[in-house]
A and B are shown apart, each in its own frame.
Chain A
Amino acid sequence: MSYWENILSDVNNFKKWKTSVENLDREINAFLQFDPEKGKKLSSILKTSKLKNREREEITQHKGKLFNLPFAVKDNIAVESFKLTCASKILENFISPYTATAVEKLMAEGAIVVGKTNLDEFGMGSSTENSAFAKTKNPWNLNKVPGGSSGGSAAAVAANFVPFALGSDTGGSVRQPASFCGVYGLKPTYGSVSRYGLVAYASSLEVIGVLSKDLTLTKTVFEIMRGEDEMDHSSLAGDYGPKRASGPKETENSEKKPVIGIPAEHGDMDIDPEIRRALDETVKNFNKLGYQVLEVKLPTLEYVVSAYYVIATAEASSNLERFDGIRYGYRDFSAENPEELMLLSREKGFGEEVKLRILLGTYVLRSGFQEQYYIRAQKIRTAIRNDFNNSFKNVDAILMPVYPKLPFEFESKELDPFKQKLADIFTCTANMAGLPAISFPVDISEGLPIGMQLIAPPFGEDILFKACGDYREIFSPKDAPNMITL
């Protein structure tokens, strides 16, 4: 930790680090905005304004758990004075007037935002190729995508630009790029981290998550960010004490090895041989570590993608209505009346994938169609929750792949946008059920990282940290070929 602390406090180290990041990022393009000085200024303003309110407290040098740690924030999460572009032309010049609660909590513990990272426009995509501004490359192989939609954050961590970064996970957008870039990616329990400051895409599915090569740091960042927030009425307090399926609560302790479940349905799924091999190896390794691995059943699994996209696009179509060229964002000045203003601003401001999803969402919410699509999808949601609840009677965590393919190349012919959506099956499941899940590195194959995924019951993040912590004995995050070293 002192390595990272030193960077922001020592003038020479800071210069070296900043130059190194700028040089390598010309190639990687993890950052849409990189401005550590702006972040430092913001942190000191926060410190002064907070301290003014504490009239009776001594103004001591409050160091904080994340003192002087630089971190990156996905550009769909608000940080005051930084732009909040969501990688979209429609917000190209929008400067955020406020800071997300999750980010403020981290800043209050001494961490400093040094930049905003690239993403698929509005979080819609699995490769970061849908960004309107930059092409982020995977630090493991510059011809491969970093994954998405939090590709910039994953690349920034893998390239060693920052010790941790924030992303958002609606259907796998933290876990999948984490897996593609060989780092940890935590998707917390829905509601455990405030969404105030996260630009809404699918409000009932998304949550702010953490990416890092350091599992302990991931845990610390999560513990700081979480909590009920009056600015987000979907946020929850939660009981994070150790929980295990087997045994009475009083005898639970966080050292007890969780029982792992693996869905029987894997056999029928379209998974690349390398990923399947890695999954089998992971099971064997957990056995070696003294973990019990049992079979569970998730019969609703094959329906989650269709239901997920109905819900996500429906909610997106509603959430993106606010971008109309009137109060903020891109405006087409050639319009002669307000309606034309909206039509033209949205037509020019939104990218292709965003338009597609808005259209799909509008369609499924049309009067007469709701029962057939949205309501049906919400019922499938209940079904998948029931599947998980049944499984969690016998196991503590469920093991699955993160993605059925290795990191793919740009403009992949094999994995067109439709096929990329189908491949969200393992990740979007946790979003549909609101469950915490983590992607953890397990292997390198053909020079590309492979990650596996563990899903736990609500507020069961400790199970994820316990299992991944033990797994470090077998495999821990490796250094990418394209990274900075100081």
Chain B
Amino acid sequence: MEKEELYTTAYMARLKITEEEVEKLKAAFSQMVEYFDKMKEIDVSNLEPTTHALLTSNRVRKDIVKEHNKTEAILDNAPELEDRFIVTPNVL
């Protein structure tokens, strides 16, 4: 497993890995990816994938608006607010 591979993957997850972290992470990462290869030992050719063990079709709810009174509590958790807008650094 090349370091570059790890850095690329990290960027995809918007995770910054530091120089100190990379060696340790690389070792643990490689060990797991190698272990995943164990799955190759079993024949899955006649099997369909399972997502929800017990549900076989999608369910929808009625398209009805429901009110809630949690807006203040939600905004209270924002790191930085201006009026009722969440502030972020400049996009451009």
**Which residues does A use to contact B, with CB under 8 Å?**
80, 94-95, 97-98, 189-191, 204, 230, 233-234, 236, 300, 302-303, 305-307, 309-310, 313, 317, 321, 324-331, 333, 335-344, 346-347, 350, 352, 355-356, 358-360, 362-364, 366, 373, 375-383, 385, 417-418, 421, 432-435, 458
Residues in chain B near residue A346, CB distance under 8 A: 13-16
Q: Beyond the given A309-B36, A362-B9, A383-B47, could you list 4 further A-B residue pairs with CB under 8 A, ordered by the A residue number?
A: A204-B51, A326-B86, A328-B79, A347-B15
Select from chain A the residue with minimum beta-carbon distance to B77.
A328
For chain B, residues 40 to 92, give those with C-beta under 8 angstroms from any C-beta of chain A. Answer: 40-42, 44, 47-55, 59-61, 70, 73-74, 76-80, 86, 88-91
Contact of A328 among B10, B48, B53, B78 (CB under 8 A): B78
The complex places the Cα of A317 from the Cα of B12 at a distance, in Å, of 10
Chain B residues with a Cβ under 8 A of chain A: 6, 9-10, 12-18, 21, 24-25, 28-29, 31-33, 35-42, 44, 47-55, 59-61, 70, 73-74, 76-80, 86, 88-91
Q: Are B39 and A355 in contact (CB under 8 A)?
A: no
Residues of A within 8 A of B13 (CB): 317, 321, 346, 358-359, 362
Listed by A's residue number, 23 A-B pairs whose Cβ atoms lie within 8 Å are A97-B74, A98-B70, A190-B53, A191-B52, A233-B59, A310-B39, A326-B79, A328-B78, A343-B15, A347-B16, A352-B21, A355-B21, A358-B13, A358-B15, A359-B29, A360-B29, A362-B12, A375-B49, A376-B39, A378-B49, A383-B42, A385-B53, A458-B54
Q: Determine the main DSSP class of B at the interface with A.
A: loop
- Interface majority SS (helix, strand, loop, mixed), chain A: helix
Do A97 and B77 touch (CB < 8 A)?
yes
Residues of B within 8 A of A358 (CB): 13, 15
Residues of A within 8 A of B41 (CB): 303
A421 partner residues in chain B, CB cutoff 8 A:
32
Q: Measured between alpha carbons, how far is A360 from B50 in the docked complex, in Å? A: 20
Task: Determine if B77 and A95 form an interchain contact, defined as CB atoms under 8 angstroms apart.
Answer: yes
Q: Within the assembled complex, what's the spacing in Å between the Cα atoms of A152 and B40?
A: 37
Roughly how many angstroms separate A48 CA and B11 CA in the complex, as a whole number?
A: 49
**Nearest 10 CB-CB pairings of A with B:** A434-B53, A378-B49, A97-B73, A331-B79, A379-B44, A343-B16, A347-B16, A379-B47, A328-B77, A381-B50
